[in-house]
A and B are shown apart, each in its own frame.
Chain A
Amino acid sequence: MSKAVIDALRARFPDAVNDAYEGVGGDDVAFVRKENVAEVCRFLKDDPALRFDLAPYVTAVDYLGVEPRFEVVYNLFSTVHNHRVRLRVKVPEEDAVVPTITGVWRGANWFERYCWDMYGIRFEGHPDHRRLFMYEEFVGHPLRKDYPLRGRQPLVAERDVPDLYRGPGPAGRD
């Protein structure tokens, strides 16, 4: 793929883009500093030469043993220009907070919830910051490398089912 995307990124955000390389199979990859993720994404979406309009695929990786521990990966695609770019954002364990990009693409909402649920990475500014897959009382973040595959959870009392149908009503009910 062309290097145009990386060059444009580097020109616009010289301090936010740490490193860029061409990965396996011709993917363009850039490391972005986590504080600047939201504005980089806004630029990538709005700039007419880049126009990454499709909501990206956001995932996270746990590199246990390496500092910084986590990495949030954004895979962007442009339907207009048919090019792709991957942004890798290193996130340390002590400060696992990344600005949200739900303001840029609404479709990133659930992906960020997945990263919170599975890895414990917070996204500040996220409108609905709760677990996606696991139940609320779940302890821990399953996809972290130090969570065992067959991890057992503490027993949780069965939740009281609120009477959704009738709703809150006169005294004596709910």
Chain B
Amino acid sequence: MDAERKQAAPVTAQEPRAPDDLDAPFPAKRMLVNLGPSHPAMHGTTRAVVELDGETIAAMKLDIGFLHRGFEKSCESVTWNQCFPYTDRLNYVSAIMNNVGFALAVEKLCKIDVPDRAKYLRVVGSEMHRMCDHFTLVGALGLELGAMTVLLYAMEARDLLWDRLTELCGARLTSSYCRIGGVARDLPEGWSEKTARTLDRCAVLRDEIDALLTRNRIFVDRTRDVGVVNREDALDLGFTGPCLRASGEPYDVRKSAPYLVYDRVEFDVPVGAHGDNFDRYLMRIEEMRQSERILRQCLAQMEPGDIAIRDFRYVLPPKPQVYGTIEGLMAHFKIIMEGIKVPAGEAYSYTEAANGELGFYVVSDGGGRPYKLGIRAPGWPMVAGLPHMVVGSLLADLIPTFDTINMIGGEVEQ
């Protein structure tokens, strides 16, 4: 190879040597590093190609699509109620919120209003999963910055919440709790008291995590003034949710367009000032406190009642009627086999998921299957805006930034 090189590049006096030849052992000044799709800090499914100038990120290109599972296309081929498991797996750490968002969108098209108890149950499920989502984020953030204890505490808290949710819906993670017209099941016996004790324990764990991280010199140094996004940029890029509120814009769907029972419970919405990673982390801790507040109020305010509307066109009739009357049997058969007949039209419905504004755009052609089910994933604009956030900072700053924007592969890649 050496001989080849000597032959290939004859040195003449007139021709200036290209810089590559002089720095022959050293490649171009900038280094391309591939943070591949199978990477612990990339939350499994994003490929980031960063061009490094020393340790500083000069440019970044994001490739996604490694978890695209054909959510929309799958939903177009199943009935409306069968879409719920697909929606579970969108934002899989807070699955009930996806269920609620989808149910609200379809109910908007059908123009049905669920009973009060169903609304409370949906809010209870949503807020519990919101707490799970924030615990996961804080735990992963701690883990990736070196504080593994935080992960263990967060996982313990999450497991406790999941125990309660298992008693409620049957599954820890992918709940499929809602149905069009209500929820699937009512609270088991004694669940409210157990949940109150679980919330107490989770509060202890959350305060422990708070104490470990919030005034921790290393944590603050790594997250303060890192990944800064100012308010105008955040709006321009489409951020919503805790990331937008960390940049100073107090937009929360639960306050600006209250749905379900959010207008009947008292809670505050934390708003940050700096728009950096530390503020985004603080948003999560504060929102966990507010979620706990909402949960306790909901459990106190709930009245016994129906958990789904009594309309056989949308909701499965109770089993005694299915087996006892012909109308019940026919309604059951038609709902299962053909699906609910949602009136033709289109609707866009939005809720406040753990990550931001979760929107569902449903188009129906009057049949039992969705014609189009578009989802506005809250994490999507944040991931798209990631190059804007990290260009100019160190490679090590990419890690906490990626954590705090809470990229959940399931929703970003549908």
User: What residues of chain A have their CB less than 8 Å away from a CB belonging to chain B?
Assistant: 23-25, 27, 53-57, 59, 61-62, 73, 75, 77, 79, 82, 84, 86, 105-111, 118, 131-135, 142-143, 147, 149, 164-172
Contacts and interface: CB of A to CB of B under 8 A. Distances in A.
A135 B65 contact: yes
Interface of B: 1, 4-5, 8, 20-21, 24, 27-28, 31-34, 49, 64-65, 68, 70, 72-74, 76-77, 108-109, 111, 235-240, 249, 251, 256-257, 345-349, 357, 359, 361, 363, 371-372, 374, 376, 380-381, 384-385, 388, 413-414
Contact of B348 (A86, A109, A165): A86
A42 B336 CA distance: 46
B236 A134 contact: no
A55 B236 contact: yes
B235 A54 contact: yes
Nearest to A131: B65
13 contacts: A25-B108, A55-B235, A82-B256, A84-B348, A107-B236, A110-B380, A118-B72, A133-B65, A142-B70, A143-B72, A147-B73, A149-B77, A169-B27
A79 to B, nearest CB: 5
Contacts of A110: 380-381, 384
Contacts of A25: 108, 111, 347, 349
A73 B8 CA distance: 57
Contacts of B359: 57, 75
A109 B77 CA distance: 29
Nearest to A174: B27
Contacts of A27: 347-348
B89 to A, nearest CB: 16
Which 5 A-B residue pairs are closest in the complex by CB-CB distance? A107-B238, A55-B238, A133-B65, A57-B376, A133-B68
Contact of B381 (A55, A73, A84): A55
B109 A24 contact: yes
Contacts, number: 127
A22 to B, nearest CB: 12
A54 B350 CA distance: 14
A107 B380 CA distance: 9
**Which of A62, A168, A169 has the most CB atoms of chain B within a 10 A radius of its CB?**
A169
B1 to A, nearest CB: 5
A133 to B, nearest CB: 4
B111 A24 contact: yes
A149 B73 contact: yes
B347 A23 contact: yes
B108 A24 contact: yes
B73 A143 contact: yes
B381 A107 contact: yes
A54 B237 CA distance: 8
Nearest to A148: B73
Contacts of B109: 24
A143 B363 CA distance: 14
Given A75-B376, A79-B251, A167-B27, 5 more contacts: A25-B349, A77-B357, A133-B64, A149-B73, A170-B21
Given A27-B347, A82-B257, A171-B8, A132 B238 contact: no
A75 B347 CA distance: 10
B194 to A, nearest CB: 37
B32 A164 contact: yes
B32 A167 contact: yes
Nearest to B110: A24
A45 to B, nearest CB: 9
B359 to A, nearest CB: 6
B372 A61 contact: yes
B237 A107 contact: yes
A149 B186 CA distance: 36
B1 A172 contact: yes
A53 B65 CA distance: 28
Contacts of A75: 348, 359, 361, 376
Contacts of A79: 235, 249, 251
A27 B34 CA distance: 44
Contacts of A82: 256-257
Contacts of A165: 31-34
B402 to A, nearest CB: 16
A167 B1 CA distance: 18
Contacts of A168: 27-28
B65 A24 contact: no
A168 B26 CA distance: 10
Contacts of B49: 164
A107 B385 CA distance: 7
Contacts of A77: 357
A164 B236 CA distance: 32
Contacts of B357: 77
A140 to B, nearest CB: 12
Contacts of A169: 20, 27
